[in-house]
Amino acid sequence: MRRSFAAFLLSLVIPMLALAQDAHRVAIRAGRLIDGKSDKLIENALIVIEGEKIVSVTAGGSAPAGVEVIDLSKATVMPGFMDVHTHVMLNGDISAEEYDEQLLKESIPYRAILGARNAHIALSHGFTTLRDLETEGAMYADVDVKKAIANGEVPGPRMQVATRAMAPTGMYPLLGYSWELKVPTGVQYVDGTDGARKAVREQAMYGADWIKYYSDRRYHFEADNVLHSMVNFTDEEAKAIVDEAHRIGKKVAAHAIGSDGIAAALRAGVDTIEHGDGLTDALMDEMAKRGIYWVPTITVGLYVAPGRGGNWQRMADLQRENFTKAIKKGVKIALGTDAGGFDWKKLNEAKEFEYYVQYGMTPMQAIRSGTSVPAELLGWSEKVGTVEAGKWADIVAVSGDPLKDISEVENVKFVMKGGTVYKNELH
Ligand SMILES: [Zn+2]
């Protein structure tokens, strides 16, 4: 009897304590607010935050009595940035040697430590959400990085992860080693429709939020001036991957660079096309019609082109043409950079915003491409992507005006995620 009474008392006290902690309120005074939703910049906005969430956003107004005010009155405030194509487990792979060394000479625990460091780098650049699109041989360690961040053990962005990705046997590195050696593979090799369904189930079991597969390889231009490619999976296999993923509530991202690979991925019913250099008018029209997202990863394309030679520069030029067309056709473009494909320490992935403006977006469109559009892609529109009442308080600020000079986004001075301030150089 006494025990149950004590338990009853505790059951009252614990939620009250939790409530008292959650109720911590702060306000941000924003000189200029780009909320990720409206076309207009809001001057002198007041954002009130309670616990992890935004409770109100008003133009002008004064903070409630007793609420601490973070003064960003000289800054431009935006929703936290989102990069929906990253590899936190990778640290540059311009050359095959660089890639092979990481898989052969670094243990998965070591790579996970660097992964946590890279996630922190992304956060300090203003990226409060990432979709990490495969571990490149580090198995399911992205799930662990995501978990450590979510548990508050290490600082980093919110994450959705794809774990291992898929390609058929022999169609993804490591390749070229003696058959006597058992070397790691960058992806999970998957063959046949049963194999495809099993691999989807296995990756989901170990924590994959997304399924990623390699639709193509061997990109080359033919006489028709179209970028072609060799398609990896049979249509039956690709459809089995997508069908099984959708059946269990997961979405699918396809690496697809050549027109043939993109067409095959669209036939299979994927949700996002990654890279997409070889898009044709007809493929873009289909994507616009079906609401399939394009994640262009221009930063990595331009970063690797000079060093790789071959067709890479021509592919980057084609992508630029296609980007401008895709905006006009209304293709949904979500910001993704392929960070990890370039060294996290050498390049700020926010560079991607600058390319979008160079390629024809307005600065406001580019900012939405890296905030509210990817929020929709992730199925998190109710939670992130805009500075609005009810959303998680994921907020960044720069000292200048990115609508006048988009490169300002490469100089984030303030980062808040879920109401916690991780960086503030605007004191
Ligand atoms: Zn990638």
Looking at residue 292, what is its pLDDT?
98
| Structural tokens at position 307 | 């060093």
Give the distance (Å) from ligand 1 centre to CA of residue 300: 9
* Ion ligand 1 residues within 5 Å by Cβ: 338
Instruction: Give the integer Cα–Cα distance in Å for 75 and 411.
Output: 12
Protein fold of 2-79+387-424:
Urease, subunit C; domain 1 (2.30.40)
pLDDT (tens digit per residue) in 257-300: 999 999 999 999 999 999 999 999 999 999 999 999 999 999 99
Q: Which CATH number fits domain 81-377: 3.30.70.20, 3.20.20.140, 3.40.50.1820, 3.40.50.2300?
A: 3.20.20.140
Structure-model confidence comparison of residues 293 and 19, the more confident one: 293
Higher pLDDT pick, 427 / 11: 427
Mean pLDDT across 46-73: 95
Pairing label, strands 420-424, 414-417: antiparallel
Q: HSE-up of 89 (CA within 13 Å, CB side)?
A: 32
Q: CA 270, CA 267: separation in Å to the nearest integer?
A: 8
Distance 163 CA to ligand 1 centre (A): 12
Expressed in angstroms and rounded, the spacing between residue 150 Cα and the centre of ligand 1 is: 23
CA of 49 relative to ligand 1 center, distance in Å: 35
Residue 96's pLDDT is what? Answer: 85
Q: Which pLDDT tens digit goes with each residue over 342-364?
A: 999 999 999 999 999 999 999 99
CA 337 to ligand 1 centroid distance, Å: 8
Q: What is the pLDDT of residue 113?
A: 98
The residues that bridge with 410 in the sheet, in sequence order, are: none
**Band (306; pLDDT cuts 50, 70, 90):** confident
End-to-end CA distance of the chain: 56
Residue 20 is predicted with a pLDDT of 47
C-alpha gyration radius of the chain: 23
User: Would you state the pLDDT for residue 388?
Assistant: 97
How many angstroms separate the alpha carbon of residue 268 from the centre of ligand 1? 20
Residue whose entry in the numeric block shows the structure tokens 């998680």:
392
Distance between Cα 293 and ligand 1 center (Å):
15
**If you average pLDDT over residues 8-13, what whole number do you get?**
52
> Residue 262, SS3?
helix
pLDDT digits (tens, 9 = 90+) for 71-126: 999 999 999 999 999 999 999 987 889 999 999 999 999 999 999 999 999 999 99
Q: Where are the alpha helices (DSSP H) in 291-383?
A: 298-308, 312-329, 351-358, 363-369, 372-377
Question: How far does residue 55's CA lie from ligand 1's centre (Å)?
Answer: 36
25 touches 50 (CB < 8 A): yes
Separation of 274 CA from ligand 1 center, angstroms?
A: 8
pTM above 0.85, yes or no: yes
CA–CA gap between residue 117 and residue 348 (Å, rounded):
14
Q: Indicate the pLDDT class of residue 1, thresholds 50, 70 and 90.
A: very low
How far does residue 234's CA lie from ligand 1's centre (Å)?
22
Token output for 331: 């293709």
- Domain residue ranges in the chain: 2-79+387-424, 81-377
Q: What is the C-alpha separation between 171 and 121, in angstroms, rounded?
A: 32
In this predicted structure, what is the pLDDT of residue 7? 53
The helix or strand, by DSSP H or E, that contains position 44, with its residue range, turns out to be strand 42-50
